[in-house]
A = this chain, B = another copy of it.
C-alpha cells in the first residue's frame, strides 16, 4: 500500500508557477504578489497540502523528534512522565520516540544506538538500574547531542537534570514512621548504582540518626533490578523476616518495590500495618484502594516530564551549549494512609 501525499510540485504544476514561487507564497514571503499568494494558499488549502516534514528535516538538518529512554512504559511513574514529555513536545511540534531499557544496560546501549541512528535532535533519559558505565551517554553528549536526565540522573555528566528531592522524600517518610511509633525500620532500595537509591537511603539514615536511632546495615537491602524480578523482593523480605530482631516497618524506595513488598508480605501472612508498617514511593493511582490503603511518597511525574522536555527543547533550539546547567529538584508528596498507622493505636486496638 502506498499513501501519496500532495507536494509543492503538484501545486506549481496545477497553477503554472514554479515551485519556488509556491514555496514563497506559502511562507508569505514579501516577494510574492498578494494575488499569487491568495491563489496558491487557496489551492493548497483545497487539496489539503502539508509540507513534507522529511524533506524539511533534511533541509534544516534536524528531525524535530526527541528520544526517550526509560526502564519500562507500563509503569505508573514512567507513563505519567511520558505523558508530560509528550504534552510539551507536541505543543512545540516535536515527535517523541520512546524506548525501554527494562533495567538492562545492554538494551539501553542498543536503544541509544538505535535512537541516534534515527537522527533525533535530543534525548531524555532515566538510566537503567544496571548501568554503571556512562561512556555511551558521555560520548554522545560531547559530540553535541543535547541530553536531559530525569529521575535517575547521572552525576558524571554535566547537563540539565530533573529529579525529585529523594532525600527529603525518604527522610520525611522515615520520620513519619518513627513518629508513629515504629522502632525498627528497614529500607528496601533498588540498585546500588542509581543516584536515587543512594539519595533515598541517605534520607532514611539521616532521619534515623536524627531520631537517635542507630543505623543497622542489616536493615538496609538492595534489589538490583528494582523489583522488576519478583524473586529479589521475596529474598529481601525473607531476609528481613529471618533477622533475630525483626523490623516492624519497611520503607520501600521505589515504585515496583512498594507494591512488590506488600505482595510478598501478604504471601507470608504478615499483616500490614499490624505486624509490619509499610510506606513507599509510588505513583499508582490505585494505592488508596489497596488493602491496607498504602502510605506513599508520590513524585510529580507528569511535571518532571514537562520540565525535562522544556529544558531539552531549550538546549536544542539554542545556538550554543549553555554555560551552566540546571538540576531541578521537585518536592515529593507524602500521602499518609493506613499502611503506616500509628503504632500505639495498633497496640491499643
Contacts and interface: CB of A to CB of B under 8 A. Distances in A.
* Oligomeric state, in copies: 2
Interface residues of A, number: 61
Interface in A74-121: 74-76, 79-80, 82-83, 86, 90, 95-100, 114, 116-119, 121
B290 A1 contact: no
Contacts of A65: 95, 97
A118 B98 CA distance: 16
A286 interface: yes
A144 interface: yes
A100 B79 contact: no
Contacts of A73: 73, 79, 82-83, 86
Contacts of A259: 286, 289
A9 interface: no
B86 A3 contact: no
Contacts of A58: 52, 54-55, 58
A100 B90 CA distance: 11
Interface string A1-40: 1111100000000000000000000000000000000000
Contact of A57 (B54, B74, B146, B288): B54
Contacts of A269: none
Interface stretch (A170-178, A237-245, A312-320): A312-320
Interface in A52-69: 52-55, 57-58, 61, 63, 65
19 contacts: A1-B145, A1-B315, A2-B144, A3-B140, A3-B146, A4-B144, A5-B119, A50-B117, A54-B63, A65-B97, A73-B73, A74-B80, A86-B98, A90-B114, A96-B98, A98-B98, A266-B289, A289-B291, A291-B291
